């Protein structure tokens, strides 16, 4: 379900931040400048059946999660839903993470761990902690997170779902954070306890990573939601 037409700016001053590669992905726009800047995440160009079902559900889910996280720094603040498949939120003045290994200090990831704990205390996991969703504030250098459509929510800590599912989801966030910290800071900069945890991630996380590589990624490529990676040709000597 690839898109044939070009994205149409929602306003005259809108800048396209991310162009969707398929009907399963949204276009992301920035409107306005300075303190009045907003972000529009929209599935307007998606196939009509997807737009009114799956895409509308994803937007409704992310809007709910942003409302739950209201007031937490480093998280976009919910503004509204101009359409059932469109989400409006505040703009975070932040930059993408550097591409270089061992390019950051451990203290930054300690701040990220604090942000994750605040999210977990609201009964949400993040669920998609990777470089493209992890940003660094241009104002004070603090960590920021974007894309909250993946989050699960269960505030009742005594419920069976929380004890079985959410605790494992929180552990997955913590283990993924540790993996990123090791990549960006280097193994020797991890504490002895963190080094042990990095070598022994939770069993459910190891299984999930195997499922993602072996089943989820090929299925998404087959559906057109993810482009196939082109292998780099080795230069002949």
Interior CA angle at 6 toward 219 and 90, to 5°? 80
The helix (run of H) or strand (run of E) holding residue 137 is strand 134-137
Tell the CATH topology of 94-223. Answer: Transferase(Phosphotransferase); domain 1 (1.10.510)
Predicted pLDDT of residue 225? 60
Distance CA 139, CA 160 (A): 41
Distance CA 137, CA 219 (A): 34
pLDDT range class, residue 12, cuts 50, 70, 90 = confident
The helix (run of H) or strand (run of E) holding residue 41 is strand 38-42
pLDDT range class, residue 230, cuts 50, 70, 90 = low
Predicted pLDDT of residue 2? 46
Options 3.40.50.620, 1.10.4000.10, 3.40.50.10420, 3.30.200.20; CATH for 15-90 is 3.30.200.20
pTM above 0.75, yes or no: yes
**Where in the sequence of the chain do the CATH 1.10.510.10 domains occur?**
94-223
224: left (phi over 0), alpha (psi -120 to 50) or beta: left
Q: What would the pLDDT profile of 100-135 be if each residue is shown by its tens digit?
A: 999 999 999 999 999 999 999 999 999 899 999 999
Q: What would the pLDDT profile of 36-72 be if each residue is shown by its tens digit?
A: 899 999 999 999 999 999 999 999 999 999 999 999 9
**Where in the sequence of the chain do the CATH 3.30.200.20 domains occur?**
15-90
């Amino acid at each position: 379900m690839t898109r044939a037409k070009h994205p149409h700016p929602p306003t005259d001053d809108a800048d396209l931040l991310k162009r969707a590669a398929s009907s399963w992905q949204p276009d992301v726009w920035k409107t306005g400048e300075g303190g009045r800047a907003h972000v529009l995440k929209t599935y307007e160009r998606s196939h009509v059946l997807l737009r009114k079902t799956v895409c509308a559900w994803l937007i409704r889910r992310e809007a709910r999660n942003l409302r739950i996280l209201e007031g937490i720094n480093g998280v976009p603040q919910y503004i509204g839903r101009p359409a059932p498949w469109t989400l409006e939120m505040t703009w975070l003045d932040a930059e993408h993470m550097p591409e270089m290994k061992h390019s950051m200090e451990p203290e930054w990831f300690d701040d990220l761990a604090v942000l994750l704990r605040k999210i977990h205390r609201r009964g949400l996991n993040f669920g998609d902690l990777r470089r493209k969703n992890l940003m660094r504030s241009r104002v004070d250098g603090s960590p920021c997170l974007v894309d909250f459509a993946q989050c699960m929510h269960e505030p009742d800590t005594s419920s069976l779902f929380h004890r079985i599912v959410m605790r494992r989801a929180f552990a997955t966030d913590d283990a993924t954070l540790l993996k990123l910290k090791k990549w960006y800071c280097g193994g020797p900069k991890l504490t002895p306890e963190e080094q042990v945890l990095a070598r022994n991630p939770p069993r459910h996380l190891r299984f999930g990573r195997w499922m993602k590589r072996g089943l989820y990624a090929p299925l998404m490529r087959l559906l057109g939601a993810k482009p196939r990676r082109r292998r780099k040709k080795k230069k002949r000597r």
